[in-house]
């Protein structure tokens, strides 16, 4: 049987001095950390999961009326519709609903980067929007605490670092993975996140796997109830000059049960250009990343007919 992995755990109710050594080790060694004391009520997480069950149980025709479009990165994503950013790879076996940070349609930000705008909210079930917005606010607060700790590890000015995340391109996906077999492909293909930080409450049925950078074996993540799992993305790896590692991961729902999750992706403001803030690790060489254009390309290439452009930046997809 494949191995499972108990990744390091921090408690955000502790003082920074107690948290920092474990957090630093986790982000340098594996790029993942489990978080307790995150301040997000268990009932809020449970309520959101129940709303997802109700939403995805709706008739397909009703969900398709709220379908995502190329000119609005918000709405329903049909099962098996989005493809990885690599030609010839089986589409991911999930259906979802995409949301972004809420920005008024007449805000100048929308003209500067078309990933900004108002969300398109499902008409049903009742309470989904309110619960999701409350969860979003709670994740933003937790994310700010984690980013401030990460800035301390890098020994950069905390206020200056957090300023990169004012008016962010942060986004969230509501996800449903039907039961599948190995022949069906992946729930989510092997990839590294292209954001700065991802916050996730894994489903109790399991299915989240990662591959440490010094190993060839995939390991399933263990996450006790109520524990948040956090991983860094490529942007934080780049900011740290390779000191932190962005770790490949995937979802395989072989549980025989329905699986639901709602990852929260923390992304800087569109005009931020990410480059190392500290000395690079030996052998680490990566071009700087303009957040807005690269985020737009990651989105554009999800569409089945899209052909990736030569951006010089890895769009996340990896071979198994």
Q: What is the pLDDT of residues 75-86, one digit of tens each?
A: 999 988 876 555
φ/ψ (deg, to 5) at 295? -60, -40
- Beta 95-100 vs 171-177: how paired, if at all? antiparallel
Q: What is the pLDDT of residues 41-54, one digit of tens each?
A: 999 999 999 999 99
- The C-alpha torsion from 273 through 279 and 281 to 286, rounded to 10°, is 20
The pLDDT assigned to 313 comes to 57
* Three-state DSSP state, 127: coil
Which ranges of the chain have pLDDT less than 70?
1-4, 83-89, 181-185, 304-320
The pLDDT assigned to 317 comes to 41
CA pair distance 68, 63, nearest whole angstrom: 10
Q: What's the token pair of residue 100?
A: 């972004």
The pLDDT assigned to 310 comes to 63
**CATH H superfamily, domain 4-60+127-300:** B-lactam Antibiotic, Isopenicillin N Synthase; Chain (2.60.120.330)
The closest alpha carbon to 270, from 119, 68, 100, belongs to 100
The closest alpha carbon to 145, from 268, 19, 240, belongs to 19
Residues 6+ apart with CB under 8 A from 263: 172, 173, 175, 198, 199, 200
φ/ψ (deg, to 5) at 50? -65, -40
The pLDDT assigned to 189 comes to 79
CA pair distance 123, 126, nearest whole angstrom: 7
In the chain, what are the domain boundaries?
A: 4-60+127-300
CA pair distance 193, 173, nearest whole angstrom: 13
State pTM to two decimals.
Answer: 0.93
Q: What's the token pair of residue 16?
A: 């920074």
Q: What's the token pair of residue 82?
A: 């989005």
DSSP string, 37-106: S----HHHHHHHHHHHHHHHTS-HHHHHTTB-BTTB--EEE-TT----SSTTPPPPS-EEEEEE-B--TT
CA distances from 309 to 57, 169, 233, 272, 287 (A): 37, 21, 21, 21, 16
Query: How big is the chain by its Cα radius of gyration, in Å?
Result: 19
CA pair distance 3, 99, nearest whole angstrom: 34
């Amino acid at each position: 049987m494949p191995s499972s992995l108990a990744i390091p755990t921090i408690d955000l109710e502790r003082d920074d001095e107690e948290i920092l050594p474990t957090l630093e080790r986790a982000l340098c060694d594996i790029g993942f950390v489990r978080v307790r004391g995150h301040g997000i009520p268990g009932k809020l997480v449970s309520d959101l999961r129940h709303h997802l069950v109700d939403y995805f149980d709706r008739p397909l025709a009703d969900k398709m009326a709220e379908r995502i479009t190329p000119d609005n990165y918000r709405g329903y994503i049909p099962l098996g519709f989005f493809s990885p950013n690599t030609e010839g790879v089986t589409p991911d076996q999930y259906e979802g609903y995409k949301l972004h940070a809420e920005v008024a349609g007449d805000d100048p930000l929308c003209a500067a980067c078309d990933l900004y705008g108002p969300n398109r909210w499902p008409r049903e079930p009742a309470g989904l929007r309110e619960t999701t917005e409350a969860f979003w606010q709670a994740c933003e607060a937790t994310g700010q605490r984690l980013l401030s700790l990460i800035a301390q590890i890098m020994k950069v000015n905390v206020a200056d670092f957090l300023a990169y995340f004012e008016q962010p391109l942060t986004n969230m996906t509501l996800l449903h993975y039907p039961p599948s077999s190995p022949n069906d492909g992946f729930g989510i293909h092997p990839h590294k996140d292209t954001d700065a930080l991802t916050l996730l409450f894994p489903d109790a049925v399991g299915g989240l796997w990662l591959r440490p950078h010094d190993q060839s074996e995939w390991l399933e993540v263990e996450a006790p109830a109520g524990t948040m799992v956090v991983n860094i993305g490529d942007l934080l790896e780049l900011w740290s000059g390779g000191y932190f590692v962005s770790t490949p991961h995937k979802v395989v729902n072989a549980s025989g049960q329905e699986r639901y999750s709602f990852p929260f992706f923390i992304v800087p403001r569109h005009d931020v250009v990410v480059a190392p803030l500290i000395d690079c690790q030996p052998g680490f060489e990566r071009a700087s990343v303009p957040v807005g254009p690269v985020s737009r390309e990651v989105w554009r290439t999800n569409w089945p007919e899209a052909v990736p452009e030569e951006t010089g930046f890895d769009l996340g997809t990896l071979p198994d």
